[in-house]
Structures are given as C-alpha cells and as structure tokens.
Amino acid sequence: MTTPDDATRHLLAPILARGAPGHASADAVALRRWTRPGRRGARVREETTYADLARRVEATATALAADGLAPGDRALFSVRPRPAGVVLAFGVVRAGGTVVFVDPGSTPELFTARVGAAGPSLATTESLLYAVSRGPLRRLARSRGLLLPDYASLPLRHVHAGPWLPGVPRGSRAARRLAAGRVDSDALPALDPGREALTVFTSGTTAQPKAVVHTAGSLLAGCDLLRDVFALAPGDVVHTDQMLLGVPALLAGATWSVPADPPSRDITTFARQLDGAAGTYLVPADVTALLDAVEGGVVPARGPRVALVGGAPVTRALLERATRVLPGTRWVAVYGMTEILPVAVVEAQEKLAHAGDGDLVGVPLPGTVARLDPVEDADPADDGAVVGELVLSGPSLMAGYLHDLDAPARGAGPRAAEHRTGDLARLDGRGRVVLVGRTRDMIIRGTTNIYPGLFEPRVAALDGVAEALLVGVPQVDGDERVALVLTAAADAPGHAARGPRADDGTAVRLDPDHPLVARVRAALPDVLDHDALPDVVLVADRVPLAGRSRKPDRAALARAAAPFVPATAVAARSAEGASA
C-alpha cells in the first residue's frame, strides 16, 4: 500500500505540488516554447505556468483514465518535448501508465517487434507522423532515409498531439482537448514511486528487443542528481530540447525553455537563446558546432552559466577549446547510460588536470555505488591499479530490462540490483572512475549508441556482399562517425580477388567508388535504423584480423576509413528531428 511519504518520491509529486493553489511557484513560468526565427528573430510562442501545467496534466490523466488507461498499461509515445508533449507524457504517468519510446525510424520489422514486446494499449503520436507515414508525404520521408510505420493502422486507441492532419485515424483524441477537460483527482491512482513509468528501447533484435524500464522513483532520483549538479533554483532558465535536463528544471521550480529546433539543426538560434540561461545540455558534436559559431562571429560569445556535456566521450581537446572560447561557462562532463543516469560528473578543470591514462569521468554521484568485476586477460593500469568491468547500482538504477520484467508474466521478473556497463575502468586513489576501454563493440554518434553486431548480419545478407563491418571513426570532439566497410562477394560487379584475411602488415585498400557501394547504400534504409545509417560506405580488398582470436581488426579499419569520412555527418542525420 502506498503511503503519503511514498508518494513524495514519485517523479511528478514535486512538479504537481508547485502548481497547487497558494504555492510560491504556482504563477511562475514552467515551460516556455520558442518559434523558429522569422524576420525579427525567434519569439516566445507560448508560456505555461506551474499552475496550468499541473491542471493540464491532471485533466489529461483524468481523460485517459476515463478512456480506459489503467495503472500498468503502456502507451507508445512519439511526441517532441514541447509543452503539449510534456503534458501528455506526464498525463500518462499520472494515470499510472508507462510511457514507451519506440523509434519510428527503425526498420519495419524491428518497430513491429518492439511494439509487440511492449504490448501497449494506447498510441500517443504527433499528428505529423501520421501524415508522413501515409500517402505522398511517405515518399518524401522515404527519400530522406525514413521508412516510417503506418501508425494509423496500429490496433490501439490513439491520441494525437498537434493539429488534425490527413492520416490521423478516425476516433483519435486530440491531446489539447484532453488537457482542457475536467479534473477528477479521485478517479486517479495514488502516486506510486515503484510503478513503472518509462520504457526506452536501446538495442536488440527482432527476436528479443532490448528496452530499459524505469520507475517513477528511479526517474526522480536521477533527475534530482542532475538538478543538484546544476544547482538550479526557482527563477533560473534552462534552455534545452532534452527531457534529461528539462525535468530537473521543473523539479527545481525553474523555467524549461524549449527551442523550436534542436542544436544539431539550428545551432545559431539555439546559441542566441543561451544568453542568460542557467544551463543547457549538449552532446560533443553540438559543442563543436556552438564553438564554431562563436569563433566565426555568427553568435555572441555568451554561453549559459553551466553546460552539461554527455552522450559520448568528452575529450580533453573539446574541453580545452570550450573553456577558451566560452570561459564564463562552467563546463561539466557527465557519464551515464540509459540504465542508470547520471553516474558521475567531472568539471572541465579537473579533467584537464588529469595527467594519467584513460578517460576520467569523476567520483560517483551521491547514492551511486561503483565496483569493478575482474576481467580475464585485462592488463593492469600503468599505476598498477586493478582494471575490471564497471558495475553500478544506486537509486537511479532502472527496474530492469523489459523482457526480464515481463517474463514469465508482467511484473513477475526480477528487478535489477546492479548494472554491468560493459566499460573497462579503474578507480584511482581519490575514488574517481577512469574508463580505459570497453568489453564489447559499440559506436557512439550524437546521442545514439550503435551496436554493430545487430546490423552487420543484415548488411552482409545483401546481394553482392561477402562481409560487412560498421566501425566508428573518432572525431576530435569525442563524437564518432560511422563507416560501413564491405568486401565484395565473388559474383559481385567489380569483384577483384581479395588479399589474404590474415593481418600481414600491409595497409587495407578501401574503394569509395566500387560499384557495390551505390547498390548497398540504396538498400540500407530498408535494413538499418536511420540512426545507424553510415556516413560513408567503402569496399575493402580484405578484412584485417588481430589478436589470438583472429577477430576483425576494427581499429585498423577505422584508421583506414578516417580519410574518407566527411567533415559533417549527413547520411544518418538527414532525418534528425523528424522522429519525435
């Protein structure tokens, strides 16, 4: 049974409390949404107070519950983090449901498998996605690398965010009308921090999609840690398109300022709106674009009070440049993952002062426990410290993976006690975590983790392909570009005898103009998630091998592919922002 004290540990409890009559924050601006720049620049499109936010969330939850959404039900969610989207997501959680993020840009088979794994009873979708998943606009989306599922055909109840557009299914409820309805708090369940609130698919195959499940309590714990990192207070403004930081702003009574476009699409407007902001969140590629704009004189050299940088390794070179170009900003690198976020943060000055090997990510945040699990054949660090796989636990740890929690019956599976990160690390004398490598292959581009092993078999099955390898090509800012390296089958056009597979010391020869390149690139949108589309496709004369296991030498392929990688990633980001 949930007690009043338990309810305070629910993600929504502090936010709804700020909107209660008589609260000091009730009339303060909780959400501010900007327009795209026009003749006179970007303007504030709408503002929502804490009182209005609380009322709209409660009204949405009341309507969803009346329509049949019961505690424990799951709702597919494909809406951008704008005020209407925030209200809708919070409304689902307030009604006791779980918000399920399913990438609409994944392959049709994987999307279907993920929907099947989640077992939703409701689809909450931006009206634009209905429109572009059918008719003429579907062809436009397809030309940009998006093969969107037909949302309207999903046999679920539907709620659409945004104006009605052709393609929205008959009977779909408008999110704005739900939010404008009556509030019946007695019809809603008590706030239970142990109830599942968020499911995010991270990887997996069609046979077993992999999704992280968080409770309302674990989300509050993680957001509270981020709020404390920023030292946010009522009246502060946080400018971000990421819920990762927007929700902590609401917990602190600050204003979440939502840009019309993410920084990856319009860094100029985004940067201009950072002036006077208490904080923002950026991936390394965004930081590079911001610094380029400042040094190019496109935007003033005025950044936020604090900039949190994460989603990919944050390099010393990037932080050196950031502190030089925007010295008035406090730059903080964050380390974490979907399973447990955040884990640790490190100030730029501390990271730049680190003279040892490895990537210093900082002391685990309060409540987070880190231990090392010895790994066979792992070499000790230069200072003799033990190196092992980093294993984490703490209040912001996920409840578990969806397939575990749902087996053999929903809720009957084991709850996660700790998370094996796959990162090799050591702990220095001050208890700081220093990353030294990984136990498995993974590419990090922007905010996306790409697991090559999930996609390489699909590409290798294409006509004319003998072998397929996805490799990450590191950039100076810590981001990675993605190169798809192929070898041609014996019957492929332009095939020439390949060199020996063994690592004989000779350089790999790569051909960007091989006839196979165009054929494979045309087929990729049907076999890869759009976030995994490569920046360059190359045909190799051979695949070099390394180590006693004679596995493909991905590091050698990455070095060989580096000269062919474009300065900006275009292929995989052509549709960025089109999915919610």
State the pLDDT at residue 580: 33
pLDDT, tens digit, 9 for 90 and up, residues 74-130: 999 999 889 999 999 999 999 999 999 987 767 777 888 899 999 999 999 999 888
- Assign domain 228-239+249-393+415-438 to its CATH superfamily: ANL, N-terminal domain (3.40.50.12780)
**Does the pTM of the predicted model rise above 0.85?**
no
State the pLDDT at residue 528: 84
Specify the CATH architecture of the domain 443-573: 2-Layer Sandwich (3.30)
Indicate if the pLDDT at residue 286 is higher than 80.
yes
State the pLDDT at residue 69: 97
- Give the chain's mean pLDDT: 87
Indicate if the pLDDT at residue 153 is higher than 50.
yes
110, 206 contact by CB (below 8 A):
yes
State the pLDDT at residue 572: 36
pLDDT, tens digit, 9 for 90 and up, residues 381-440: 555 678 899 999 999 999 999 988 887 655 556 788 999 998 899 999 999 999 987 776
Indicate if the pLDDT at residue 472 is higher than 70.
yes
Tell me which of 1.10.150.120, 3.40.50.2300, 3.40.50.12780, 3.40.50.880 is the CATH number of domain 6-31+44-207: 3.40.50.12780
156, 171 contact by CB (below 8 A):
no
Whether 6-31+44-207 and 228-239+249-393+415-438 share one fold: the answer is yes
Give the residue-averaged pLDDT of 62-81.
Answer: 96
State the pLDDT at residue 573: 37
State the pLDDT at residue 139: 66
Q: Which of 201-215, 331-345, 506-520 has the lowest mean pLDDT?
A: 201-215
State the pLDDT at residue 115: 92
Indicate if the pLDDT at residue 56 is higher than 90.
yes
Give the residue-averaged pLDDT of 171-193.
Answer: 96
Q: Which residue has the higher pLDDT, 67 or 146?
A: 67
Give the residue-averaged pLDDT of 16-36.
Answer: 97
Kindly indicate the confidence band of residue 443, based on its pLDDT and cuts at 50, 70 and 90: confident
**74-78 and 122-126 strand pairing:** parallel
Q: Which residue has the higher pLDDT, 384 or 176?
A: 176
Q: Walk across the sheet containing 255-258 and list its strands.
A: 44-49, 29-34, 255-258, 237-239, 279-282, 306-309, 330-337, 340-347
Q: What residue ranges do the domains of the chain occupy?
A: 6-31+44-207, 228-239+249-393+415-438, 443-573
Non-local (6+) Cβ contacts of 240 within 8 A are 246, 249, 256, 257, 258, 259, 279, 280, 281
Partners of 481 in beta bridges:
473
